[in-house]
Amino acid sequence: MRHAAIFPGLVLAACMRPVAPVTTPSVELEAVQVVEEIKQRRGRAVLPGKWTERGGLQMEILASWRAWEGLAGDSRLIDLAHEESGILIAIDAFPVEPDAPSTPFRKSDECKWLFEDDGRHELLRALRPAHSATCVGHGTDPRVIRGWRSRKNGRDILVYVHYPTGRVIGGARITEPVLSTLSRR
């Protein structure tokens, strides 16, 4: 009698259509891809220590991060990659006239800017007051991007932090020691 109760379940299990496993890229694979992508489109590598750019921004590059300056004439000042976590920090600067509208956050088909806030963000004291926004990825790139924008010394400074899937909260602990060193000469 006990076998009769088990038998229908086995028949049903044998008849089920196989389901393809759901795969998501590993964080390690995402990290390698991000670093390779940066290397292909950036300038010279920046060694750990104090980094300063011509317009007066500076920050401490920690040993756990790899960094590359933007190419001459490019809006990108620097890219930083934390290879262990796959987190990327990018800083752009755009010259603007005093009364010009703010430079918008980068548009992408892969993410949508959902939350925006103006205020005094403690993490980026050098950019206060700053406008912040969060972009949530979809499609093939589900990462989350946090962005800050501020106008300083005739330039719109935009800071982007790209968090791989599932790394936003833990990623904040990784990025805070670097972002908190961003300052102006």
Q: Please determine, for residue 89, whether its predicted confidence score (pLDDT) is greater than 80.
A: yes
Q: Please determine, for residue 5, whether its predicted confidence score (pLDDT) is greater than 70.
A: no
Beta-strand runs (E) in the chain: 45-46, 49-52, 57-61, 66-69, 76-82, 87-95, 111-119, 130-137, 144-152, 155-163, 183-184
Average pLDDT over residues 69-92: 91
Q: Domains of the chain: which residue ranges?
A: 25-184
Q: Please determine, for residue 138, whether its predicted confidence score (pLDDT) is greater than 80.
A: no
| pLDDT tens by residue, 15-35 | 333 333 333 444 455 556 655
Average pLDDT over residues 38-54: 83
Please answer whether residues 125 and 183 qualify as being in contact, where contact means their C-beta atoms are separated by less than 8 angstroms.
Answer: yes
Pairwise CA distance, residues 2 & 41, whole Å:
66
Q: What is the CATH number of domain 25-184?
A: 3.40.1000.10
DSSP 22: P
